[in-house]
Each structure stands twice: as structure tokens, then as C-alpha cells.
Chains A and B, each alone.
Chain A
């Protein structure tokens, strides 16, 4: 587990209550400070009040592309804030994209992508990596 001078603040954005609760429990036990939003509007509101160290965003929320839209907003408004995009949309469900091609990197404004169901250790590793780069 990484030690920090101050707790790393994570904003979780997902429309699935249970996903939020489960990730929050794991992250808090691992020493993160967690806030959660159930959709785009709430996420924007929370971001305006207090800036976290990293944002974890689900792709499909109110609309199938809500996550992408929110990513664009965050990139424009807070260019330095690292974003992790979480998605169950993958080749199996018919839509395929990742951050390995330049073309996809240009329209997906995220620093990392994780496929659902995500393994907690994986999420934690990505958060630590992105936060240490940003600091």
C-alpha cells in the first residue's frame, strides 16, 4: 500500500449504487478519501466545490455516452486532473476501443481505462500511478 502525506481524494462517478458502495468500502479501507456521484450533474457539482486528486468515471450512465461527455468536461475545466474511465463496454458487447491507439486517445479524454468488473488492486494501482505522475 502506498503511503501519502495526505489522503488521496477520489471522486467516483457511476449510476450503479452498489458499484459505488463496494468501491468506496475498498478504497476507504486502503486509506483513500472517497466522494461519490451518481451522474454527470452531481459530479460537476462536486468538482466545483472541491477538487479531488483523481476521478473514476463509468461510461454508461444517464446516456450510453455520459462518461465520455463528462471526461471532455473535466479535461476542459481541470486539465491537470487525472481521469480513469471504467466500462463494461468492450469487444464482447460489440463496441471496441482502448487507449492503445492514437486515434482512440484523441477522442477518449481519459488517462487510463479499466474494464468492468474491475479488480480492486488494479484500480488502486492505476490511481497510485496517475496521482504520483501528477504530483
Chain B
């Protein structure tokens, strides 16, 4: 339950008490966010008193009479605008004058109530105003949270980009001071290691661009009927050297073409991230099995490896950005920590889901379901 503060400003005491009575037991449910709201009502009998009260503690909603002795409602609105409060003002007007309404709106009034009004009319206006207020606050909170997530992302990214830079700088410093003498061949290992770190950094930047593209570039998607089995074959082919160098066999199990309404680059990214993980985190001589099946509404992609596997604890953190499972078995495996974040975001674009089963030292299986118009032929 949230409580909104209402300040009713009117020189007629009957009017003020009527508002207090009507709002005392009112509870408004804001449907979209499922929040219940009730109200506490304070009173002011003049514009001057209202401004004083607003200065001390601004209400959420101001019910403001237009015609009062002393300063008028419109003048109160004027001064309110200069106070940078977030009060929503409902003007109470004695006669329906368009001119007053226009002026009041220009000066920031949110809504109007024409005198005399019934308790129902008051409740209805308050209901509308409260919903507006609560929704606006929720939206602001969401924006703030998003900003925070973004900040955190950039903070970690900075760290991830600085580490390889520091490593390369370190080697260059050692070379500059001729740490191992004048002969360049003494530095071959340092050069090789530097190049590896630069490769890692390039991969991180590529993944980062993919991720950003997925998040922001949905309008650039090129959806068409694509054969995902053929895409799988070409991705396997591109990873052929990597697999062969460690005697890992990659098998594809799919019968016939499977057509899917999809963006070819996105499907490629899903396959290449899952398959390259299955190779990277495998043991030498291990196996990777890719199974693709389809029903009328879904395509299922399963990638099973015989690699180092993960604990349940690792799995729970797996899809976070920059999460890399660190253990003695993974220290020398390069990676950006963004691959599975990319896959997860892509899978969401196809209203799909991704699941993982794993057992340490036995292997890991990723299962991706893509919900799209699929047709086997």
C-alpha cells in the first residue's frame, strides 16, 4: 500500500471537509503495476497558506481552488512552477471558463474539476491522477535501474579491457629495457603471449559489438526462410581447425533441411558460440554432438560435449555478462565472458529458451528451443 498526500486548498470550509470525507476511505488500485494507493488529506484555506505548506512538505496532489481571496489559484500555480516540486495540480473552477482552463494548463495544472462536483467525480479524477503519478514514478525507477545496470556493465568492461593492455604493456616494457639481452629471439615467447592477449581483446570487442547490435539493432534484422542445418554445417566447418588441433570430433545429427523464419547471422552466432564453447571446454580427444530437431512450431538445437563440465553453482551464474567460470581447468582457456549472454539475448528474439545440464568432468549439454514458424521439408 502506498500513501499519497493530498493538499486541498479552498476558502470554503464545506468544500475542504467534503474532500477530506470523500478521500478518507478511498483505495485506488493501479492495475498495470498492481499497487494499492490510499490518501491522507491536509487543508489550506488560502493560496498563501498552501504555498507555505508546500514549501515545508510538498504534497503529491494539490486540489486548488481558482478563486480565493488573496492570491488566486493561477498565481499559486505560477509560484509552484518556480519551486521545482513534482506536485500534480487539479484546478477547481467555479464556472467552466475555457480561458481559465487554457491558462491553468499552460501554467502546469494536470486536471480540472468543475464546481459543484459529486464525490464520484472527485474520486474518478483522483483515481486518474494517482495512476499517472504511480506509473510515472515506476517508469523513472526502471530507467534508473537500467542506467545502473549499464554503468556496472561499462565498469566491468573497462576492467576486462585494461587487463590485456596491462599485460602487453608489461612485455613491451621488458623488451624496451632489454631484459633478456639484445637478441630478438629471446623475446619470442613474450611476443607470442602479447599477440594472444591482443587476440583476446579483439574477440571481446567483436562480442561487445554483437551484443550491442542485438540490443539496439533489431530494426536491422533480415528475416527470411533459412535452412538451419546448412548454417550448422558451415559453422562446424569454420571451427574445423580448432577442433582438429585437439583431436575433438564434432558430429551433426539432423535429418534433412530444417527451415526457419530467421536472420541468418543470428543463427550463425548461436551455433558458433555454443559449438566453440563445446570445443574450448572439452578435453583433448573429446566429442561434440550437435542435434537439430524440429516440430511444427519449434526448432530444438542441442549441443553436447564430453568436456570439463560445471557445478550447479557455476550454472546459476553462467548467463551473466562477463561471467567466466574460473577453475584450474579453465585458466588457460581464452574467452570474453560474453558468448552465452549473446546466445541468451538471441534466443529471446525467437521467443525461445535455453537450458543447460552439466556434470563436472563428464560434460555439458546446452539445449536451445527456438519458437518460430518452422517447416521441415
Contact = CB atoms under 8 A, between A and B. Distances in A.
A38 interface: yes
Interface string B297-331: 00000000000000000000000000000111001
Contact of B170 (A22, A39, A41, A92): A22
Given A18-B197, A19-B166, A92-B158, 15 more contacts: A15-B326, A17-B193, A18-B171, A19-B170, A22-B167, A22-B171, A26-B179, A29-B179, A38-B331, A39-B328, A41-B328, A61-B326, A94-B151, A94-B152, A94-B155
B174 A22 contact: yes
- Rank and list the top 4 A-B pairs by shortest CB-CB distance, nearest first: A18-B167, A22-B170, A62-B326, A117-B166
B185 interface: no
A62 B170 CA distance: 22
A93 B155 contact: yes
B163 interface: yes
B166 A62 contact: no
B159 A88 contact: yes
A116 interface: yes
26 contacts: A15-B331, A17-B331, A18-B170, A18-B193, A18-B197, A19-B166, A22-B170, A22-B171, A22-B174, A25-B174, A29-B179, A38-B328, A39-B326, A42-B328, A61-B326, A62-B326, A88-B159, A88-B163, A88-B166, A92-B158, A93-B155, A93-B158, A94-B151, A94-B152, A94-B155, A117-B170
Contacts, number: 53
Q: How large is the interface on B (under 10, 10 to 19, 20 to 34, 35 or more residues)?
A: 20 to 34
A16 interface: yes
Contacts of B332: 17
B140 interface: no
Given A29-B179, A62-B327, A19 B159 contact: no
B273 to A, nearest CB: 23
B162 interface: yes
Nearest to B152: A94
Nearest to B166: A117
Contacts of B170: 18-19, 22, 117
B155 A25 contact: no
Interface string A20-32: 0110011001000
Interface of A: 15-19, 21-22, 25-26, 29, 38-39, 41-42, 60-63, 88-89, 92-94, 116-117
A42 B155 CA distance: 29
A92 B332 CA distance: 28
Contacts of A42: 328
A87 B77 CA distance: 55
A4 B328 CA distance: 35
B22 interface: no
Contacts of B166: 19, 88, 116-117
Nearest to B165: A117
B329 to A, nearest CB: 11
B255 interface: no
Contacts of B328: 38-39, 41-42
B118 interface: no
Interface in B130-173: 151-152, 155, 158-159, 162-163, 166-167, 169-171
Contacts of B331: 15, 17, 38-39
Contacts of A117: 166, 169-170
